[in-house]
Amino acid sequence: MKRVVVTGLGAITPLGNTVESFWKNIVAGKSGVGPITKFDTSKFKTQFAAEVKDFNAESFIDKKEIKKYDLFTQYAIVSTDEAIVDAGLDFSTFTDDELAEVGVIWATGNGGISTFEQQLTEFHKGDGTPRFNPYFIPKMIVDIAAGVISIRHKLRGPNYCTVSACASSNTAIISAFDTIRLGKANIMVAGGSEAAITEASVGGFNAAQALSKRNDSPETASRPFDESRDGFVMGEGAGALILEELEHALSRGAHIYAEIVGGGMAGDAYHLTGTPPDGIGATLGMKKALNDAGISADKIDYINAHATSTGLGDISELVAVKNVFGDLPVIVGASKSMTGHLLGAAGAVESLISVLSIRDGIIPPTINTEKLDEKIPEGLNIILGKPIKKEINYVLNNTFGFGGHVASTIFKKYEA
């Protein structure tokens, strides 16, 4: 099968709206969490989130076009534009045949939920006569970001959306990886976006007892593995990767960040929202990724854990890590301590971290974790407090979603 490399990156995040600003803040261990500004939270149990800051869609998208797009699609457009430029691609110079070999697989968990909420609220406030925005449906549906990216750049290769809750964008990346290595495209735009910090989302996750309620100290609320953690912190944003067939990338002199070498998907088959205590799904996903990459567990230098800061989820994942890696000295880190949980966009944003850690030889810290939960298996090497400078050859990135979805990817330092 063909080799697949990463040649471009793009980001819209709570810690920066470019890849380099985001990475700088991640390495510095900054928190992107603060009080919610999008709506009045006074009646909500959780009043904070990791919001994107200083995002102005008009700086990137024609004003007439903006009204057609939900915020999750706007994030998708801007992050993919950055990734395309970063990859040195100018699709306006591509022939029709070349454009047919460029595709988009874009993920989201919630799609245009803010549009859905706003339109139904306006309807119920009215006299009952249906007066919906003509863009209501195309703004809301989950696949529309993939479609818009394709339309914007005239990309006529494989085009669809993956939805597997918080594993969605890792699933998209694995699917794009498979598409290229099977010879069905030369270039794939892959990633995910989420803009779900809304009243319905926060209220719904509160009802499910999933969100932290640490309103007195929001910046320290996301504390993976800590004995006092009380739930995840909702985040928003987007991560975009340009995946490219190796020979195609070399033929045009592209800069290569890293190689993607493995992807594993599995199911917990356990519970609507919970994770199994024995970590069976995560164990399978990681083992499948290793098998796909054709490497043994001792090759992995760093695991970017899913680690949402929930009581059962954190332990289940670390049990799975112990199942797969035993007493190997692999370093486990939890970047959601800084970004919050970007839901369907989490896997893509954490893939950026994985790739950049390989590029710079830096493993970002886990912040806020003061005392490790005593239920964590012994012998795990969890990074806390400060980044580690280390040569990194392989990174494994975990994502898990409601419904028991598991997706694990492996990135490798590129070697000719």
Q: Please identify which of the residues 153, 248, 306, 405 carries the catalytic annotation.
A: 306
CA gap 331, 59 in Å, rounded? 39
271 part of the active site: no
Rounded distance between C-alpha atoms, residue 401 and residue 272, angstroms: 9
* Distances 342 to 89, 207, 269, 313, 352 between C-alpha atoms, Å: 27, 19, 23, 16, 13
- Pair type for strands 302-304 and 394-401: parallel
Evaluate whether 169 touches 145 at the Cβ level (below 8 Å): no
Q: Would strands 237-245 and 187-194 be described as parallel, antiparallel, or unpaired?
A: antiparallel
124 is catalytic: no
DSSP assignment of 195-245, as one string? ---SHHHHHHHHHTT-B---TT-GGG---TTBTT---B-BB-EEEEEEEEE
Alpha-carbon span 38 to 261, nearest angstrom: 40
Whether 241 and 83 have beta carbons less than 8 Å apart is answered as: yes
Find the catalytic residue in 153, 248, 341, 405.
Answer: 341
Closest CA relative to residue 17, chosen from 336, 233, 236, 307? 236
Which residue in 161, 166, 248, 405 is the catalytic one? 166
For the annotated catalytic residues, the residue numbers are: 166, 306, 341
